[in-house]
């Protein structure tokens, strides 16, 4: 069921999305904040993520993290949070009987966090960072490296977890400054959902009316697409190579967004999609492969990736080009086009049935955009996309040179072969290493 949300703007500027449901045993409250790595300077890289970790570390009524955790789990799940490149989410999933108590505590934590235990949480985050950095402090996360090459010298291109020296030196004053700057009601969307009357959900939003209003700094526009191919070829001691081909793509507000959605559904949505058939069934290149359209309001990235053995890297690079070019030369038609349309609509409908995904469907799209298309309008737009529009979307992608990322066992010959293969595809000549 695609509910029509009840949306209002509070006097302090907070956008409130209320979603009463006909059935269910749980309720959800989620707060999306417009702050992430794209809003950080080099000196502040990683600060949004550290702040997200510390928000739940005590409030005036629950001074310690232990008290916060005990209170949350007495109502349902633990408080949860995540930081992205463009936003941060704080949420709680609980028994509907405790919705009001949960809302009061979450609002207090967001409004007046005590930030206790910074040094302990700093150590936890440094452990978390080991997923992206090696023992020498070298960034070896291929996804992060690819985004840095695609969006250089911009917050979108910086690792969400941040620079290690920054994490080690951030102070309480840094956290308070960042919190005061970005945790403003006008920079937030609150989603409240559950099997409760509308007036009960509205009452749960009342504690958030005490959040401060105020101006939020403007966001720097995304950088233009690269004008030449970028290569990240990192020799790293692991059994397979993490390979990624990333192209500049439009953002979610682009007029052609429905066409890009269908392109991605045909590319990678299930085992019958082109990516899985090409890399798996046809070529046997990879057990794990993926296609992603990572989209923000103003820009995006289309990525084709796989984990392959070193001897298959060159074939992967060639196959990634072939798959995208195939979307232009032979775009989905007939049954394949209908399948992509169905999968796109079905994804929205299943999302609408999942309580935990409702903020992504109804709340987050309103962050910085008062009147986004409704889910029904989005489905209608996607259903109207033609084969020709998908081909045009593919041409927009291939009009720009890619970022080629390979992290894993490699030698000079393999790296040179990758460069030459990309140069041939682009009609140019590879530079020497």
Looking at residue 430, its pLDDT comes to 55
Predicted confidence (pLDDT) at residue 428 exceeds the cutoff of 90: no
Question: What's the CATH number of domain 230-425, 3.30.830.10, 3.30.450.40, 2.10.109.10, 3.40.50.11540?
Answer: 3.30.830.10
Summarize pLDDT for 33-65 with one digit per residue, the tens: 999 999 999 999 999 999 999 999 999 999 999
CATH of domain 6-210: 3.30.830.10
- Give 107-135 pLDDT, tens digit per residue: 999 999 999 999 999 999 999 988 888 88
Q: Match 């992430």 to its residue by tokens.
A: 36
**Of 303, 315, 220, 307, nearest to 264 (Cα)?**
303
Q: What is the pTM of this model?
A: 0.94
The reported pLDDT for the residue numbered 2 is: 75
Are 100 and 203 a contacting pair, CB within 8 Å? yes
The yes-or-no verdict on residue 4 having pLDDT over 90 is: no
Domain chopping of the chain, boundaries: 6-210, 230-425
Topology agreement, domain 6-210 and domain 230-425: yes
Q: What are 296-318's pLDDT values in tens digits?
A: 999 999 999 999 999 999 999 99
Q: What is the pLDDT of residue 295?
A: 95
**Six-digit token pair at 397?**
């992608």
Q: Nearest 5°: phi and psi at 343?
A: -65, -40
């Amino acid at each position: 069921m695609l509910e029509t949300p009840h949306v209002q703007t509070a006097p302090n500027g907070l956008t409130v999305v209320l979603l009463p449901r006909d059935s269910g045993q749980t309720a959800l409250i989620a707060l999306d904040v417009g702050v992430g790595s794209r809003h950080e300077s080099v000196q502040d890289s990683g600060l949004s993520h550290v702040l997200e970790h510390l928000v739940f570390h005590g409030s005036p009524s629950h001074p310690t993290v232990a008290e916060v955790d005990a209170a949350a789990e007495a109502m349902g799940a633990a408080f949860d949070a995540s930081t992205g490149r463009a936003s941060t989410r704080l949420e709680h999933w609980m028994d509907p009987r405790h919705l009001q108590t949960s809302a009061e505590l979450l609002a207090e934590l967001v409004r007046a966090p005590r930030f206790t235990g910074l040094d302990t949480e700093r150590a936890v985050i440094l452990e978390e960072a080991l997923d992206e950095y090696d023992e020498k402090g070298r960034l070896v996360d291929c996804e992060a490296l690819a985004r840095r090459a695609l969006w250089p010298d911009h917050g979108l291109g910086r690792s969400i977890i941040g620079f290690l020296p920054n994490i080690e030196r951030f102070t309480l004053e840094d956290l308070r400054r960042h919190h005061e700057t970005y945790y403003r009601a006008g920079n937030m969307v609150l989603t409240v959902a559950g099997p409760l009357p509308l007036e009960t959900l509205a009452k749960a939003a009342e504690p958030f009316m005490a959040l401060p209003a105020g101006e939020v700094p403007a966001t720097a526009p995304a950088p233009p697409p690269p004008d030449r191919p970028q290569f990240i070829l990192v020799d790293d001691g692991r059994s397979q190579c993490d390979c990624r081909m990333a192209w500049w793509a439009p953002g979610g507000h682009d007029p052609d967004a429905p066409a890009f959605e269908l392109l991605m559904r045909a590319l990678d949505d299930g085992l019958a999609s082109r990516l899985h058939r090409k890399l798996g069934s046809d070529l046997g290149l990879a057990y794990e492969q993926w296609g992603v359209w990572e989209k923000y309001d103003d820009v995006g990235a289309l990525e084709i990736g796989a984990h392959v053995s070193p001897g298959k890297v060159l074939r992967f690079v060639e196959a990634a080009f072939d798959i995208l070019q195939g979307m232009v030369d032979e775009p989905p038609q007939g049954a394949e086009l209908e399948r992509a349309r169905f999968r796109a609509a079905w994804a929205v409908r299943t999302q609408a049935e999942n309580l935990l995904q409702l903020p992504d469907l109804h709340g987050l799209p309103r962050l910085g955009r008062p009147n986004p298309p409704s889910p029904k309008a989005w489905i209608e737009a996607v259903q109207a996309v033609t084969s020709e529009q998908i081909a045009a979307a593919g041409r927009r992608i291939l009009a720009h040179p890619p970022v080629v990322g390979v992290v894993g066992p490699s030698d000079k010959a393999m790296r040179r072969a990758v460069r030459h293969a990309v140069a041939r595809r682009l009609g140019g000549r590879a530079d020497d290493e």
